[in-house]
Structure 1
Amino acid sequence: HRDAAHRLDPLGDPALLRRAARVLGVGTTASGGADELLDIGDRVRFRHPPVRAAVYGAAVPGERRRVHRALAEATDAGTDPDRRAWHRAQGADHPDEGIAAELEGSAARAQERGGLAAAAAFLERAVGLTPDARRRADRAVGAARAHHLAGASEAALALLAVAEAGPPDEPRRARTESLRAGIAVAAHRGASAPATLLGAAERLAPIDADLSRDTYLQALFTAVGALPDWEGVTQVAAATRAAPPASGEPGEPRAADLVLDALSRLYTQDAPTAAPALRRAVAAGIGEDGAQAERLRWQWPVNLFAMALWDDAAARDLARDHLRLIRASGALALLPPALGTSTMLLLFEGDLAGAERLNEEARSYAAGADVWTASATMTQGGNLGLAAWRGDEEETERLAEAVAKDAAGRGEWRMVELGHWVRSVLYNGLGQYERALDAVLRAGADHRAPGVRGVLWAPLELVEAAVRTGRRDLASRTLERLSASTRAGGADWGLGLEARCRALLSEGEEADRLYRAAIERLGRTRMRVDLARAHLLYGEWLRRERRRTEAREHLRTALGLFTGFGMTAFADRAARELQATGETARKRNAGTAEELTPQEARIAGLARDGLTNKEIAARLYVSPRTVEYHLRRVFAKLGITSRHQLGERL
């Protein structure tokens, strides 16, 4: 019994062991060879770890329950109520409402501490111990939600089946449908989820107004990712306008109500009309008010609102806080889109090494819980963005094709559009403007309806590509829609980008003024890549105006920034322009290993150790072409020409 007590309580607290032994009527003096099994010091440990599992496996269920009851009795309810509740639950041999209620309290405390998986375990055990069928079904929904957020979708679905088997109850049925739809979306089987959620929201309206509004919000949020056409998204957004009024006091809406209002306006109204609602929701998102569980439900759309307002500071703060909140809570099911948002912002900031670290994190999670079909495409998207930003044409096209195929198969239509937009960035960097224009048009940049359509940043690429290919009418039309958005936001990022695009369509002193304004505004933001592109465009314009001395200044700045970022295509474009002014871009001196990005350092180290490109690719889950690309950059940075020299330089 003493051995079993230690096996059933992982703390190894000697005092607890002795108290439990007394409850069981077992003496504290070693007997029966226990000294050969246990080492009792500041903690109780098995001398041979495999014996621990053997002792537990040899005990019959009744013995285990008896020891759990003894451990519960020996545990102080005031100082360790959760461990006591768990032992009571494991020691129970029949349903007990008192124990189930204790477990529910333990789950709430665990969730506040960020132990979502522990909370899910407490709630699942509470379901099994609840004698009343109606209450058991209600608790099953809560346990399913906790498992879903923790990344255990199979356990969540099993508990939803328990909930559905309970007595008829319309609010519970609606909550169950809502959660089942959310699980389907996480597993990318959610094309029908928006309609299911709208139906649940309508049924909930006369029963629970707040829950109905939350379900409308989930329906629209789901539609944005799951519906292939934007007209369908607009229809769902319009339907959310029929949501019942919030139940709170007038003038004091919940943060979720502000998010619902803003999200529906974002997809049905023009930017100036929607902007005030977006600002109110962003302000609520930046604040620290609200329970953790509620913030987890609506924080991600608020990140979108900050970007729609072109507020780079708010977007970065929200993205950072969202990741912190998810990690602290253990809500792993929400991690893939949050990592994707932060990765994209780091790319805009020119921090490719940071973006790569987040993408590696997404990849590591992709092999984890059963919900991680979601992060596979997110990781592909991160790889695609990194390849395009680095100027690797072959790898970008390979990944873009894979993303389009996989995302379409999973119903991730926004990811398909994102892939086309990323390609347009690459081809503008390479100076292949026809290909850039073709790609960005496929990203949904040339829409004419109110509200957001396609990738938010696609119009920027369209304006540049259209001007360079003589489609000034298309560029001008796109710019006017972009301007409505940037001016409604009123932030330096958006206004700087608008000035940069407008300068492309201007001449003479007006163009000069706009380029300078773009550089000034973008220089006050985190978005260093956009600043570098403004310097590049201004330098190109100055060269064509035969102002070569001024052109060199801006082209040197652009070249230095792009080289520092590791953006080869744009750096080469700047170098060509600089050469056209009559100045040869200086080659980099032989660098040091400290200049390598984390991925370059890993690949260089493996190549130094004798691995082939194919072997390195298999080790790092990338393509051989990606390895070759990184090795070319390593050789250039280190001033070497062969693998044999890596040992000297690393």
Structure 2
Amino acid sequence: MHRRALLGRETERRALAALVEQGAAGSGGATVIIGAPGIGKSALVAEAADMAARGGTHVITAVGVQSEENLPCAGLHQLVHQLRDGIDDLPERQRTALLAAVGLVDEAVPDLYLVGLAALTLLTDAAAKSPLLVVVEDAHWMDHASLDVLGFVARRIESDPLVLVAVTRRLDDRLGSAGLPVLHLGPLTDEVAGEVLDAVAPDLGQQVRRRLLEESAGNPLALTELPAALRSVGGAYALNPGPLPLTARLERTFTARVSRLPADTRALLLLSALNGDGTMDECLAAASRMLGTAVDVAAFEAAIDGGLVEAQGMAFRHPLVRSAIYHAATAAERQAAHTALAAALQGQPDRQAWHRAAATAGPDERVARDLDSTAGRALRRGGVAAALAALRRATELTRDPSARADRLLRAAELALESGQGDVAAHLVAQARSLDLSVRDQGRAAWVSIALAEGTRGEGAATAELAELAVEITAGGEPTLGLRMLWGAVLQCFWGEPGPAARERVAAAADRMPVDADNADLVALRAYSAPVERGGGVMESLAGQLERSSENAEGDQLLGGAAVTAGAPALAGRLTARSLDALRAQGRLSMLARALCVQAGSAARLGDVRAGSLAAEEAASLARETGQPLVHAMVNAIRAQLAAVSGDPAAEAWAAEAEREALPSGGRPVLAILQMARGQAALCQGRYGDAFGHLHRVFDPADPSFHPWLRFYAVAELVEAAVRGESAEVARDVVRELSPLGETTSSPALLCGLRLGRALLSPQDAAEPLYRAALDAVPTDWPFERARARLALGEWLRRHRRPAESRVALQAAREIFDALGASAWADRARQELRAAGASSPRQDPAAADRLTSTELHVAQLAAQGLTNREIGERLYVSPRTVSTHLQRMFPKLGVASRGELAAVLGGTMTYPGGAV
């Protein structure tokens, strides 16, 4: 039958065979096969699996089952079971996470991405012993957690003898939308369809043959099953004259066979269809309970004879058989089957809970509590989607309004976490139709604010949420209160609720009844009022750096707050403390945000190489973890880095960030990309353009306005204005911001104001202002120091003091070169030439020949980490690390990893700290 089904599939067979051969040769990959039911997907994969097995490749298979969609990691469990001998060899943290995810140990899963790394390690370790082919059948029915893990693995298959093939009906499943290659299977041509039909039913009359070809529409399963259905009813023409959807037509062919089976066989088939990956003993026990008489395995024989199940085990010959059996049963029969299965599944509370829920028509608090407990266990295993499904069904079974509101809001929070905004909004609306407590009103308000991605919203609502957060915290729920206050504060950062709302939010942060040294509270105050709270904000942030920290999430938040407060070097150091812990814990969503802060800090510090390294990884993780606004922010930072380095790609990055951010109105993104455009134009001598871009960040009526991030652009705005024709506008900006400079110790604002005043001052009074601006630059901000030296050198040269100017300009050029800030280095070179000194371009550093990923691998290898340790840090396989090293050695002119440290020299750190 395989041979018949594969007629007309030569192109697809060659593509899949090439992938399998590629994996066996040590360079793996993944693909998704998509097609309608019965189109030949499974037959195609079966042939490839047979070929792989004959060539010495180990083949393992997992099958998605509709009734197990809401059991977290059920599909992953199938794969892990087949590779269980390798589990003990996993690093301890990965082993525990993987075992917890599949329910083999009672531990909470710290993050599903750590489970993904464990699965990747398990699979690549197995592939190192023998090439491995992983087949995922019916991926459209697999639980979300398993698909997330498999998608994570598939994106990282590069240099291992490992191939993953997923078979699905829909393009929009987790694997099909993960950027993997897709192989579409369409209907057979008329000619090939005729060949298949003639092979399975050579004696058909011409009229029946024509009708079957018409009805089958090129579907191989239909071509083989419809003739069998005709024969099963004595050769009568059993098709309705009108056309039917293909799936319904095929289901009817199987249903016709089921209807003539004995009662015990029909019961067993229905129970098997509902029991997913359950055992035969479970189905037999449930059938005996359901029919009130003993049922044994002999009842399956009629189903085997009818071609509905395989002779070995209880596997259905095709997924449509399962579907047909389900739809052929009445609602009462399905309820009875679910009830019988729930009774048979002792010791399996999650499966029991879902079967009881399926058997229950009206409110039932006992079943609702069981599903609530199932949701809790799913969350411990990393199954957010499964927990959401359990809570949603529990709300339907809950009569008590208070318990129903609590479950609706917990479900809304999970929907928000998993990126299902429409579902979250619907659940919140349902909750608000009930009489909510003050606590639940706050929870509903927080979800609503978060749904707006912190970018849009009415100012009064933002302020009221902050004030409600204080009330709830005072009532004994600090965790909920802080989370609600974060929602209000981020509305102020990403959006523009207005000065009055900002002040109310800041006042609420001041009143929060939480320990003053709490990292969340310190970050909240810095975000909500980085200037108005003046030196206290900077003092608190610096104090957090001096405290030992085991709170990676807190350090990431503090880093972002330090950027907002105008202290990029401090931000880099705070965030750097979080990176290793976030990697080890597998918290890739937060790692993306931390790396975004690192990249942004580096861009503002002018450290192009470190910033590019962090930005590339942040962008990849932001895409993978579904954080579009973070991805937009990273692209804006890439534009900034490109502007600093003179890369013409600056505008492309800025345009991409603008496209991503405009729909949600993400003001920080828009502000940063306008600053990038302004800096690029300034370095190119396009002063009018530079002023136009930069002034938008200072105009409250413009979508790019940001009350705090604008501090980073003060000096550039003033220079563009002075060199163009807008000096008076720049004077107004400096005049407006000067009072703020008296209430804050923000390095960004103070440096910008000092250099801005020097640029605006009369020529005969400027020199002391330039020197004061230079002296006031913090020692940990070399780019800003070079920027001030460049401005001083330019002033000295224009006042015919070339010897002094050359000293300042040379120092500036050296710093810009060391940082990779080529656009600024070129400006310094031009001034040096005008001052009578030559300054040839330097050859690129060795590290500049590497991609960001190669550089990251090289840095870690130079520190002495093994390939396996580097793989754990970067969430790739050890063989992928080895491949990167092999590619980079010729670029660097080295023969071994022992030479890397000397060659890389000063590129061994991320901004703010060691990698």
Aligned position for 1:579: 833
The structure-2 alpha-carbon separation of the partners of 1:152 and 1:67, relative to structure 1 and needing over 3 Å to count, comes to farther
- Trace 1:387-536 onto structure 2 (pairs within 5 A): 387-392=642-647, 396=650, 407-408=661-662, 410-444=664-698, 452-453=707-708, 455-466=710-721, 468=723, 504=759, 510=768, 513-514=771-772, 517=775, 522=778, 524-525=779-780, 527-536=781-790
Aligned-pair identity (%)? 23
Aligned position for 2:636: 381
Aligned position for 1:184: 452
Kept after mapping to 1: 8 A contact 2:566/2:711: no
Kept after mapping to 1: 8 A contact 2:495/2:665: yes
Q: 1:103 aligns with which of 371, 374, 386?
A: 374
Cα distance in 1 for partners of 2:579, 2:664 equals 25
Aligned position for 1:226: 495
Cα distance in 1 for partners of 2:420, 2:812 equals 47
Task: Report Cα offsets for 1:492-511 as digits up to 9, x if no partner.
Answer: 77776666556655868736
Q: CA deviation at 1:457?
A: 0.6
Kept after mapping to 2: 8 A contact 1:266/1:452: no
Q: TM-score, normalised by structure 1?
A: 0.65
Aligned position for 1:316: 572
Q: 2:424 aligns with which of 131, 145, 156?
A: 156
Q: CA deviation at 1:337?
A: 6.3
Q: 2:540 aligns with which of 274, 277, 280?
A: 280
The structure-2 alpha-carbon separation of the partners of 1:512 and 1:389, relative to structure 1 and needing over 3 Å to count, comes to closer
- Trace 1:336-355 onto structure 2 (pairs within 5 A): 340-355=596-611
The structure-2 alpha-carbon separation of the partners of 1:306 and 1:534, relative to structure 1 and needing over 3 Å to count, comes to same
The structure-2 alpha-carbon separation of the partners of 1:156 and 1:342, relative to structure 1 and needing over 3 Å to count, comes to farther
Q: 1:91 aligns with which of 332, 350, 355?
A: 355
The structure-2 alpha-carbon separation of the partners of 1:407 and 1:148, relative to structure 1 and needing over 3 Å to count, comes to same
Matched, 1:134 2:402: yes
Gap regions ≥5 residues in structure 1: 39-45, 75-83, 602-636, 639-650
Cα distance in 2 for partners of 1:284, 1:547 equals 46
Give SS of 1:73's match: coil
Q: TM-score, normalised by structure 2?
A: 0.49
Cα distance in 2 for partners of 1:418, 1:236 equals 24
Cα distance in 2 for partners of 1:204, 1:161 equals 20
The structure-2 alpha-carbon separation of the partners of 1:70 and 1:316, relative to structure 1 and needing over 3 Å to count, comes to farther
Q: Amino acid of the residue matched to residue 346 of structure 2?
A: E
The number of residues matched between the two structures is 553
Cα distance in 2 for partners of 1:286, 1:90 equals 51
Kept after mapping to 2: 8 A contact 1:104/1:126: no
Cα distance in 1 for partners of 2:847, 2:469 equals 61
Cα distance in 1 for partners of 2:466, 2:647 equals 46
Q: CA deviation at 1:364?
A: 4.8
Kept after mapping to 2: 8 A contact 1:225/1:414: yes
Cα distance in 1 for partners of 2:656, 2:66 equals 51
Cα distance in 2 for partners of 1:556, 1:53 equals 73
- Trace 1:612-631 onto structure 2 (pairs within 5 A): none
Q: Amino acid of the residue matched to residue 571 of structure 2?
A: A
Kept after mapping to 1: 8 A contact 2:797/2:835: yes
The structure-2 alpha-carbon separation of the partners of 1:299 and 1:594, relative to structure 1 and needing over 3 Å to count, comes to closer
Aligned position for 2:121: none
Cα distance in 2 for partners of 1:457, 1:110 equals 44
Q: CA deviation at 1:452?
A: 4.5
Q: Amino acid of the residue matched to residue 351 of structure 2?
A: H
Q: 1:236 aligns with which of 496, 501, 508?
A: 501
Cα distance in 2 for partners of 1:365, 1:415 equals 18
Cα distance in 1 for partners of 2:297, 2:757 equals 84
Gap regions ≥5 residues in structure 2: 1-62, 69-73, 85-103, 105-275, 286-295, 327-333, 856-890, 893-915
Aligned position for 2:346: 73
Cα distance in 2 for partners of 1:4, 1:264 equals 47
The structure-2 alpha-carbon separation of the partners of 1:578 and 1:68, relative to structure 1 and needing over 3 Å to count, comes to farther
The structure-2 alpha-carbon separation of the partners of 1:308 and 1:154, relative to structure 1 and needing over 3 Å to count, comes to closer
Aligned position for 1:143: 411
Matched, 1:595 2:849: yes
Q: CA deviation at 1:444?
A: 0.7
Q: Amino acid of the residue matched to residue 536 of structure 1?
A: L
Compute the RMSD of aligned alpha carbons. Answer: 5.4
Q: Amino acid of the residue matched to residue 679 of structure 2?
A: V
Cα distance in 2 for partners of 1:6, 1:148 equals 24
The structure-2 alpha-carbon separation of the partners of 1:457 and 1:134, relative to structure 1 and needing over 3 Å to count, comes to same
The structure-2 alpha-carbon separation of the partners of 1:128 and 1:499, relative to structure 1 and needing over 3 Å to count, comes to same
More helix by share: 1
Kept after mapping to 2: 8 A contact 1:536/1:574: yes
Kept after mapping to 1: 8 A contact 2:509/2:525: no
Q: Amino acid of the residue matched to residue 276 of structure 1?
A: G
Kept after mapping to 2: 8 A contact 1:310/1:486: no
Q: CA deviation at 1:266?
A: 3.6
Q: CA deviation at 1:556?
A: 4.0
Q: CA deviation at 1:346?
A: 2.3
The structure-2 alpha-carbon separation of the partners of 1:490 and 1:223, relative to structure 1 and needing over 3 Å to count, comes to closer
The structure-2 alpha-carbon separation of the partners of 1:545 and 1:366, relative to structure 1 and needing over 3 Å to count, comes to same
The structure-2 alpha-carbon separation of the partners of 1:355 and 1:169, relative to structure 1 and needing over 3 Å to count, comes to same
